[in-house]
Amino acid sequence: MQVNRLDIDTNSNSDNLRNAMLLLHSARNHWRWIAFSLVLSLAIAFIYLRYITPQYLITASILVRDDAKGSEFGDTAFLESMGLSSVKSSVDNEVEILKSRTLMESVVEDLQLNVRYFSTGRLKTTELYDKSPFKLTLIHPTNSRNAKSATYFLTIGKKNHFELHYTAQTYKGTFGTAITIPDGQVTLERTSNIFNPDDQYAIEIQDQEQLVDQYRKALTVSPTNKLVSTVNLSLNEMLPKKGEAILERLLINYFKTSIEEKNRIADSTLAFINKNLHEVSIELADSERAIEIFQTSHHITDFSEDIRQLLTQSGDYQREENKYNVQSQIVNALLHFLRTNPKHIVPAQLFVQDPGFLPLIEKYNELQLAVTKGLITINKSHPDIRSQHAQLDHLRKDLIANIISQHNDLQVGLTSIANYKAKVSRKLDQIPATERKLLEVKRQQQIKQELYILLLKKRVETSISKSSTLANARIIDKPKSGANPVKPNRQLVILMSGFIGIAFPLAVVHLKNILNTRITDISDITTQLNLNVLAEISHEHGPEKSILFNAQSQVAEQFRVLRTNIQFLGIAKQNQVILLTSSMSGEGKSFIAVNLCGSLALTGKSVLLLELDLRRPRMAKELALQEEGFTNWLSSDRDLQAFTQKALSNNTFDVITAGHIPPNPSELLALPKVNEVIQTLKVKYDFIILDTPPIGLVTDARLLSHIANLSLYIVRQGLTYKNQLGIIREIQNQNQLRGLHLILNDIRETPGYNYGYGYYASKKPYFFTDLKRNLFKS
């Protein structure tokens, strides 16, 4: 098993090597086309690099305030320690905001990126951006978000006039004056840049929705890593200044949105405080006025010492009661706020009774902000938003329950204080009613005054927080374009064009080899047939169809090899018959027959070439002999010797041509007379070479197979089809030809064929030189 696997691997490696060598040989034969393809590919690459607009990478980086990582900066940490800011941020949230459609839309609108300016030269169209000599402003766009992109060509006239050409319409106007075009009412104004009269200017108004999507895809926002809270921004843009302006505006709008969001929270708290402060101030003024009126109307100036002590105790209890009443009013106000404002931030700074209550409010506010930010980028029906709403409802219920619990605790405290106050009240029952009424009025005034002071303090604190508002991030690196373009990569384009220039023609050559249905080399035969190839005859480059004229040639030496291989087969005895056939016409059967006869005759053997291809005889014409031959002998009573001719003037070997073409060649070859004459000729000649018709087309060769001792089947490189090898396999399996062997003819120079026959060739011309003069003379 291992031996078989080794054989398979060896054969596979051999096939791969042969295919590689074949491809290299084909490449060498087609080197001009490969060179042309390489030059053409490189030329296209250089033209592409010359006229393509390069793209530059614009980068920027910011530091985001991430509460989870403790990245605080500026006065934020101080304000957090005072409880003046409860807005939380994270890197992931800020990245989503930076990539949001809303933010990019604001950038496109602020910079008017949907209006582009172009200058068309002789070979290249260039976007002008800040170098444009004019600027178009959309005053009243007509459904600009859904409009398709439109290009207007500008023509400058005299006296500050111009024309805009769109499709078949022309719109005339004056610089600085509004005109109406299909995209709405616009104005066109000159800039400080100078018009070039040789260029044609164009204005393109793009679809804003598509443009926003385009820039969002081109924008990359990503955290540097998980350990830090820095965010990197990058944008690919053809114009460096334009790209820097886009990133700069994006960061400006991002910071502005962040600050506005925090200010909105502070404004909500201030509005709540101011509303309650206004109501308390009115109530306090009414209490103070009531005291003044009461004292004036009752002429009250002072109390006795006992009354003062009782009043002091009563005042202490009253202050405690006032404290609880203030907290109770705040709790009631917060409870009312939560029930009536489910989508607003809760002003947690007002409630400081229970420290454990503040984290709940902060968590509620964080979730409220997260929902607000989420609605910027996703729809309110999104599962994440719906989940956050559910969490908000749950937290709101917890807050309301906690506030009610605190309210109950306050009521218990008030009840306790009321008991103590009752004791003092019993002692004060003896105090005159007038003084007791004055005490009640003052008690109400003290409650309002303490609440008023508390609200004033909270308003000041909230105002300080608002004036100190910072964005959630700050810039580390300003937007900056790279010095070199990132697209296209010149080295990569040139390298790939060179690779394509070489690989494409090689692929075509390789595909041609794969699709080739004809015999390419000897391996095509040996892999399909279990037959010996006696000789491999190379292609003759000269104008002659025979190689016998050149004894020093490689082909002449190959025929010597064929002669030697026949001798090794044991066909060196006297009176041997060799049959030559092929699959179809044109495979060099007659060429092999003539040169084999000449090669055998050189060894002193008597050789007869008998042409039995009665359907397409050509030997008489090729060897310049008389046309009468074998068919004429069959139809006459003359002796065969009368039709025997000499191939050369020096009587090298004899030839009997086919003669005239008969109407029934197969029947003639089946006559017993043919077999008899062959047996007679075997007595006279050492070798008889039978040139028969192609066996792949007619059955003539099969009729003569019993006469031959050796059958040579001619296969021609580049002509014989690979599927015709099936004919040879069938002949071998059915033993239709005796002593069947193959000859591979007309081998072109390939990596597998590189014989050194020139070493054996004589420097002195001999018999083959005479064959040239005699066989092919006109």
Structural domain contains residue 567: yes
Whether pLDDT at 761 is above 90: no
Q: Are residues 450 and 380 in the same domain?
A: yes
* Residue predicted with more confidence, 540 or 22: 540
pLDDT at 68 over 60: no
Residue 578 has pLDDT above 90, yes or no: yes
Strand order, beta sheet including 740-747: 533-538, 740-747, 710-716, 576-582, 687-691, 607-611, 654-656, 645-646
Provide the pLDDT for residue 550.
Answer: 62
Q: In terms of pLDDT, which residue wins out, 314 or 726? A: 726
| Rounded Cα distance, 487 and 54, in Å | 6
Of the pLDDT bands very low, low, confident and very high (cuts 50, 70, 90), residue 290 is: confident
Same domain, 40 and 120: no
- The crossing angle, in degrees rounded to 10, of helices 767-775 and 589-601 is 140
- Minimum mean pLDDT among 196-210, 332-346, 663-677: which range? 332-346
Least confidently predicted of 73-82, 95-104, 393-402: 73-82
CA distance linking residue 280 with residue 442, whole number of Å: 15
Best-predicted range by mean pLDDT (72-76, 295-299, 604-608): 604-608
Q: For residues 691 and 369, give the distance between their C-alpha atoms in angstroms, rounded to a whole number.
A: 101
Residues 377 and 360 sit within 8 Å (Cβ to Cβ) = no
The pLDDT of residue 508 is above 80: yes
Q: Considering 221, 254, 287, which residue would you say is the last residue of a domain?
A: 254
For residues 137 and 39, membership in a common domain is answered with no
Q: Are residues 360 and 500 in the same domain?
A: no
Mean per-residue pLDDT for 484-497? 84
Q: What DSSP state is assigned to residue 676? A: H
Tell me the per-residue pLDDT of 400-412, one tens digit each, with 9 for 90 and over.
888 888 888 888 8
Nearest to 508 by CA among 122, 52, 160, 30: 30
Q: Mean pLDDT, to the nearest integer, of 284-297?
A: 78
Question: Which tokens go with 341?
Answer: 């404002």
Statement: residue 373 has pLDDT above 70: yes
Range of 45's domain?
A: 2-52+489-515
- Same domain, yes or no: 670 and 558: yes
Residues with Cβ < 8 Å from 445, sequence gap 6 or more?
284, 287, 288, 290, 291
pTM, to two decimals = 0.50
Q: Tell me which of 208, 230, 254 is where a domain ends.
A: 254
* pLDDT score for 744: 93
**Are residues 106 and 190 located together in one domain of the fold?**
yes
Q: What is the Cα–Cα distance from 402 to 280, expressed in whole angstroms?
A: 25
- Going by pLDDT thresholds of 50, 70 and 90, the confidence category of residue 468 is low
Residue where a domain stops, chosen among 211, 235, 254: 254
Together in a domain, 218 and 311: no
Residue 741: predicted pLDDT: 93
142 within some domain: yes
Mean pLDDT of 308-318: 74
Q: Give the per-residue pLDDT at 462.
A: 75
**Angle 428-429-430 from CA coordinates, rounded to 5°:** 85
Give the per-residue pLDDT at 69. 53
Does 436 lie in the same domain as 405?
yes
**pLDDT surpassing 80 at residue 586:** yes
Residues 145 and 107 in one domain: yes
Instruction: Please check whether residues 45 and 61 belong to one and the same domain.
Output: no
Of 255-259, 304-308, 729-733, where does mean pLDDT reach its minimum? 304-308
Q: Which helix (H) or strand (E) holds 247?
A: helix 240-298
Together in a domain, 20 and 135: no
- The verdict on residue 484 lying in a domain is no
Do residue 504 and residue 529 come from a single domain? no
End-to-end Cα spacing for the chain: 64
Mean pLDDT of 313-337: 79
Residue 545, pLDDT score: 43
Q: What is d(CA 31, CA 24) in angstroms, rounded to the nearest whole number?
A: 10
pLDDT at 393 over 90: no
What pLDDT, in 10s, does the model give residues 106-128? 898 888 888 888 887 776 778 88
> What residue spans of 527-577 are helical by DSSP H?
554-568
Q: Is the pLDDT of residue 777 over 50?
A: no
pLDDT at 218 > cutoff 80: yes
To the nearest whole number, what is the mean pLDDT of the chain? 78
The answer as to whether 86 is a domain residue is: no
Average pLDDT score over residue span 4-11: 49
Q: How many percent of the chain have pLDDT more than 90?
A: 8
Write the pLDDT tens digit of every residue in 423-439: 777 766 656 666 667 77
Give start and end residues of each alpha helix (H) in 173-239.
208-218
Residue 581 pLDDT grade (very low, low, confident, very high; cuts 50, 70, 90)? very high
pLDDT at 609: 94
Range 570-577, long-range pairs (CB < 8 A, 24+ positions)? 571/709, 571/710, 571/739, 574/686, 575/682, 575/683, 575/685, 575/686, 576/682, 576/686, 576/687, 576/688, 576/709, 576/710, 577/678, 577/682, 577/687, 577/688, 577/690, 577/707, 577/708, 577/709, 577/710
The domain total for the chain is: 4
Residue 651's CATH number: 3.40.50.300
